[in-house]
Amino acid sequence: MENNNFNFLTLDSIRNTLTDRYNAFRNDWGNQENITEELINDLNEFINHFMLWIKDQKRLISNSAETCVTRFVQAELDIITIGKRGMGRLTENFPRFGAQYKNILGKSDDDTLDKIKKLFSNHLLCGYLFAEYIFYYGSHIEISRNLDMESSDHLLKHWVPLIFSEDGIPAFDRGMESKMGKAYGFLKGLWIGAYFDEIFEILKNLNIERNDYLDSIILNYFNAGIVLRLVEYSPPRKRSQF
């Protein structure tokens, strides 16, 4: 069993980014499309709740989860392995990031690659925390961690096959939308966008232009973080039900 300490530096970085984004969103409501007074009231409630939740000392990222994210991101940036498949794929139709941009990444310096690795990791962990937040908001009960998942190897084994599943996230989104209404879509977009600008800015500097593949894979990374937290919570026999 692994030492289940937590990386507070990573959590602090994500906490600060999300807090800034929430505050900016609140100050920009007048420029948002399709936003009603009722929706503003709902979002205001969510934001006030979030500010208390994110600062709570119980807010944690487990070592096993962070290790899984690190291993996944390293695999995504792999430019050496032959073929385009990556973790969670059965085919090469949706190639790993490193295979898609092998030539560009191969010419990049270590500092740039480290920044990409950190941004991808934080983006995934945003999804992880988002799942925890959404569950807590609905029940006001901290989402637990299945003791069987304290080993990063065990957690990785159960997480990887679900990373790009077409069933889990759509069902999760529908369930949350039925409970939270339109506010859910706004909140998820807020969290997804926490690192979007930084990610696309550094990729643009490498002459990697934004396209459908990039939009899709960056969204999938966030959703993979959601799935990771659900797998960490759910006993294996129930995991298909989220």
Q: What is the 3-state secondary structure (H, E, C) of the chain?
A: CCCCCECHHHHHHHHHHHHHHHHHHHHCHHHCCCCCHHHHHHHHHHHHHHHHHHHCCCCCCEHHHHHHHHHHHHHHCCCCCCCCCCCCCCCCCCCCHHHHCHHHHHCCCHHHHHHHHHHHHHHHHHHHHHHHHHHHHHHCCCCCCCHHHCCHHHHHHHHHHHCCCCCHHHHHHHHHHHHHCHHHHHHHHHHHCCCHHHHHHHHHHCCCCCCHHHHHHHHHHHHHHHHHHHHHHCCHHHHHHC
The structure's pTM equals: 0.85
Q: What separation in angstroms does the CA of 218 have from each of 49, 215, 234? A: 27, 5, 25
Residue 31 falls within a domain, yes or no?
yes
pLDDT of residue 22: 81
Q: What is the mean pLDDT of the chain?
A: 83
Q: How confident is the model at residue 3 (pLDDT cuts 50, 70, 90)?
A: very low
Q: Is 107 within a domain?
A: yes
pLDDT digit string (tens) for 95-145?
999 999 999 999 999 999 999 999 999 999 999 999 988 887 766 667 777
The answer to whether residue 121 is domain-embedded is: yes
Instruction: For 186-221, write each residue's pLDDT tens digit.
Output: 889 889 999 988 999 999 999 999 999 999 999 999
**Is residue 7 over pLDDT 70?**
no
Q: Does residue 155 sit within a domain?
A: yes
Which domain, by its residues, includes 179?
Answer: 8-241
What local confidence, expressed as pLDDT, does residue 224 receive? 94
| 1 located within any domain | no
* Biggest CA pair distance of the chain: 54
At residue 240, the pLDDT reads: 43
What's the number of domains the chain is made of? 1
Q: Is residue 147 part of a domain?
A: yes
Q: Is residue 3 part of a domain?
A: no
Looking at the predicted structure, is the pLDDT value of residue 177 above 70?
Answer: yes
Banded model confidence at residue 78, pLDDT cuts 50, 70, 90 = very high
Residue 103 domain flag: yes
